[in-house]
Amino acid sequence: MKIAIAQLNYIIGDFEGNTSKMLKSVEVAKNQGADIVAFSELATCGYPPRDFLEFDDFIRRADESVEKLKQASRDIAIIVGTPTVNPVIEGKDLYNSVLFLYEGEEKFRQHKTLLPTYDIFDEYRYFEPASEWGVVEFKGKKIALNICEDLWNIGNENPLYTINPMDEVIKYDPDLIINVSASPFDYNQAKKRLHVLKANVDRYKIPLFYINHIGAQTELIFDGGSVVMSPNGKIFNEMTYFKEEIKTFDLDEVMKNTRSVEQPKDKMALIHDALVLGIKDYFGKLGFKKAIIGLSGGLDSALTTVLATEALGNENVFVLMMPSQFSSKHSITDSIDLADNLGIDYEIIKIEDIYTEFIEKLKPIFKDKPFNVAEENIQARTRGTLLMGVSNKFGHILLNTTNKSEMAVGYGTLYGDLAGGLSVIADIYKTEAYQLAEYINRDDQIIPCHIINKPPSAELRPNQYDSDSLPDYDILDKVLYEYIEKRQGPKELVAMGFDEKLVKRVLRLVNMNEFKRYQTAPVLRVSEKAFGVGRRVPIVARYLS
C-alpha cells in the first residue's frame, strides 16, 4: 500500500480554491502511484474557521466540497478533514470529522474526541466530542483515523482529558494510524510534536502517518513538517517545513525502516521562516501586494523591513524615514544603508516643522508645563499619520515594528508607532531580536552593524535611551518570559532571585498596558504564549496592580 501525504496551504472559507487544490493533489498522488491521499484537519474550510462555523451556508459549502472529492475517489482513496452536522438534538451542532472516501462513496468517518480549549484553541465552542471509535478496512489493512489532539493524551496522562481515544481504537487491532492535524507553529512545537508522535508509536507499535497544515491564517502560522514514523519509533520521513509538498510513501518500506531522518530545528531559523511566511500569506490571502514601513534606524524597524522584503520582494516594500530634531545623524545614514542593501525605495520626510506646528497650536492648553511624554507621543503620532496617509493613498499595508518587550510594558504609542495592519515581530523579545539579526546577517551584512550595536532609543527627546525608563533588556526579558509564557506570579519570580521592586514594577507595566494591546494589529505567533487570541486577560482588573 502506498500513502500520499498532501501538506497544503488553505485559505479559510475559500471552498472553491481549497477543493481545486485538493483535486489537483489527488491527480499528483495518482501519478505517484498512491492508493490513498490524505489531507489535513478541516481541509475543506481551512483552520481555524471560528464563528464561520455558525453559518449554515458555511457547512453546506463544506459538504459540497466533500461531494466533489467523492467523485474524485473512484480509483484512489481520499482522507479529508471537514466539519459535519451532528444529527441528534443533544450536544453541539457540529463534529470535527475525518472522512474516508473511496469509489465515489463515504466509507467511514471518525469524529474528533479531544477538543482543545486552551491558548489559541476554542474547539469546544463549536464541536461535540466523539463517543464512538472504530477503524476502516482498506486493501487488507485496518486503518485508525484520528484528528490532531486525539494523539496528545498518551496513556491518559494529559490532565485536560479523561479519555485516550487511541486506547479505544487499538481494541480493533489497527495496522497503522493516519492522523490529520492543524498544529500551529511555535518555536518549540516541532520538537514537542515529534515527542508525542514517538510516544504513540512506542505505545501501539504500529506505523503512523501524520499530516499537518502549512501556511498562515492571520496571526497563526502552520509549519507543516508532516511525519511518517516506523513502528520501531524511527522517523522514516519528516516533510518540508513552511512549504507545500505532496509525497507518497510505501507502507512496506516504512515497516522495514531502521534509521531516523530528522530535520534540524534551529530556533532562529524557524522563527525567521515562520515570520516570512506569516507576512507573505497575510498579504497574499487578503489580496494585497505592497507594504509600507517607518524605518527609524533602530533594530526593530530594520528587522521588519528585511522580513517584509524577503516575503514580498524588494519591489513591494516602501519605507519612510521621518527624522526629527532629536534623531541622530546615524539614524538616517543607517536606514539609507539598509534600504540600499535591500534595494527598496524610500523617501525622507523631516517632521520637525510638523511637530513644532502641533506644539504651537497646543501651547495655550499646555501652557508652561514641562516637556514630557505628551510631546514624545506627538512625534510618534505624526509619523503614524504620515505612514497611514501613504498607506491609504496607494493601498499599502502598514507593518507594525514593535517587539514583544515593548508591547508587554506599553513602550509604544497608540495611533503612532503601534499603528499598522500586522504586528510582525511583537512575539519576539528584544534580546531575541538581536539573535534574529545575527541569523539574518549570518552570510552577509544585510543589517548594518551600527543598527545592531548602538544602544536602543526611541529618539523622542535629547540623549534618550530605552534604559532610561526600562530595566536592561537582558533582565526585563527574563522577567517577562517567566510572567507571560510561564505564568509565574510575583512570589515565584522573587523566589527565582529577581528583585522584588523590579518585579512589581514590570508586572504593573504589563497589566496596566493591556488596553494598548487590545487596540494593536494582530501579532504573528511564534512563541507558546503570544499576545492576542492566545492570551486573554481583562483590561480593568486589580490583580498585581
What the block records as the C-alpha cell of 68 is: 466533489
362 contacts 325 by C-beta, under 8 angstroms = no
198 is catalytic: no
- Report which secondary-structure segment, H or E, holds 25: helix 15-31
Per the CB < 8 A criterion, the answer to whether 238 and 225 are in contact is yes
CA-based nearest residue to 536, from 17, 4, 122: 122
Catalytic residue among 45, 148, 238, 310: 148
Positive or negative, the CA dihedral 375, 380, 381, 387 is positive
Dist CA 266 CA 513 (whole Å): 32
Contact status, residue 526 vs residue 307, Cβ threshold 8 Å:
no
Of 41, 123, 310, 432, the catalytic one is 41
Contacts of 488 (CB under 8 A, 6+ apart): 482, 496
70 a catalytic residue: no
Reduced to 3 states (helix: H, G, I; strand: E, B; else coil), residue 422 is strand
Q: Is 148 a catalytic residue?
A: yes
Are 45 and 13 within 8 A, CB to CB? yes
d(CA 319, CA 35): 51
And the C-alpha cell for 274?
A: 515562520
* Distance in angstroms (rounded) separating the CA atoms of residues 142 and 158: 27
Strand partners, 141: 138
Which residue type, as a one-letter code, is found at position 466?
D
> Which of 21, 70, 112, 198 is an active site residue?
112
Q: Residues 230-248, buried b or exposed e (16+ Cβ, 10 A)? A: bbeebbbbbbebbeeebbb
CA separation for the pair 363, 306 (Å, rounded):
40
Catalytic residues: 41, 112, 148
